[in-house]
Amino acid sequence: MNLWTLFILALLLLAVFFPRLGLIATYRNWQNARQREQLEDALKHLLDREQQGRHASPESLAGILNLPRAKVTRLISDMETQGLLETRGTQLHLTAEGERWAMHVVRAHRLWERYLVDEARMPLEKIHQAAQKREHTLTASQLDELDAALGHPTRDPHGDPIPTREGKMPSVERMPITAWQAEGPLRIVHIEDEPSIAYEQILAAGLRLGQVVRMIEKTPQRVVLSDGEAEYRLAPAVAANIEVEPLPESEIAKTNAISLADLPDAQPAEIVHLDDAVQGFTRRRFLDLGLTPGAIIYPELGNFFGDPRAYRVRGTLIALRKDQASQIWVKEVHR
């Protein structure tokens, strides 16, 4: 067989096998990505359980990952080999390295949710699933860049704290509104997004992060909340997904504030506070525009379509969309 024949044969072999090798490589990449997702979802489950004061088990892991017991057993073995968890009886415990990795995934998820709401303007009910897909692909350096671009937010759109780059989870004090006994105004500081059906009911009712409400009725059949203008009726199982904190005494006097979007034309007002939902870069932009507590603001120019609306603050004319103005709370000033 001469060299020319060998060359032709080599070309034929390349033509036959390279497409197959490409498919094999694609499949292997997909398989590796899938295995990484399962491992990281397992780490998140272990972290979530430990933050609740409990520990995961092979059974709970099988349920959350929707995997048969045999595959979960292999996964646990692989994670032990990598030094990510320890098995103590029926309990699974994160190691320091496992916790560090789990915090990275949680940070990625919550920062990406923040981006989807603040910059991509995706509806709240859709961000969780989108962030779950993206959380497994971001490196530590990419997370640092995203964190800086968003203005270093401290909470995600649901009110959950965002872990620091050092892997520390800020502590928060809150309780389900169904467990609250005392009277007085409460601020919504967290709305649990799982199960999604309960989360969607809360959003559909019109409740939002940072809103100040009072509980006016609590029975085994229903929970009724009021923000002074509207009433919100929820089943107790749904209301339990809303977590609150008592309003500080210094802010109780401000509970008669209205949103800037509801301020009548030509009516001066004093800015009282910005919604807790305003975080990171969006909050910094508001502050840079002079939208700080104590500043006097009033609508100056109307818009035929009503949105955006022009306001004058600190001698400067600015334009705000209705959804932006609804996050700024003011009280009317009468001169």
Q: Tell me the CATH number of domain 258-332, given options 3.40.50.10780, 3.90.1010.10, 3.30.10.20, 2.30.30.90.
A: 2.30.30.90
Please give the pLDDT value at position 305.
64
Q: Which residues contact 269 (CB under 8 A, 6 or more apart)?
A: 260, 263, 296, 297, 298, 330, 331, 332, 333
Give me the CATH code for the 3-94 domain, please. Answer: 1.10.10.10
Adjacent-strand bridge partners of 2: none
Q: How many other CB atoms sit within 10 Å of the CB of residue 1?
A: 6
Summarize pLDDT for 58-117 with one digit per residue, the tens: 999 999 999 999 999 999 999 999 999 999 999 999 999 999 999 999 999 999 999 999
Summarize pLDDT for 237-255 with one digit per residue, the tens: 999 999 999 877 656 555 6
Sheet holding 296-301, edge to edge: 258-259, 328-332, 269-274, 296-301, 309-313, 316-320
Given a contact cutoff of 8 angstroms between Cβ atoms, the answer to whether 204 and 136 are in contact is no
Query: To the nearest whole number, what is the mean pLDDT of the chain?
Result: 87
Q: Predicted confidence band at 151 (pLDDT cuts at 50, 70, 90)?
A: confident
Token digits for 232? 């919100």
CA 96 to CA 72: how far, in whole Å? 21
In a 13 Å sphere around the CA of 168, the CA atoms on its Cβ side amount to: 5
Instruction: Map out the domains of the chain as residue ranges.
Output: 3-94, 175-252, 258-332
Q: Is the pLDDT of residue 20 over 80?
A: no
Q: Is the pLDDT of residue 1 over 70?
A: no
* Angle made by CA atoms 75, 77, 79, in degrees to the nearest 5: 70
The DSSP secondary-structure symbol of 184 reads S
Summarize pLDDT for 132-147 with one digit per residue, the tens: 989 999 999 999 999 9
Please give the pLDDT value at position 19.
54
The fraction of the chain above a pLDDT of 70, given in percent, is: 87
Name the pTM for this structure: 0.75
What's the burial of 163, exposed, middle or buried (CB within 10 Å: 0-12/13-18/19+)?
buried
Please give the pLDDT value at position 275.
81
Please give the pLDDT value at position 113.
95
* One fold for 175-252 and 258-332: yes
Given a contact cutoff of 8 angstroms between Cβ atoms, the answer to whether 209 and 276 are in contact is yes
Fold designation for 175-252: SH3 type barrels. (2.30.30)
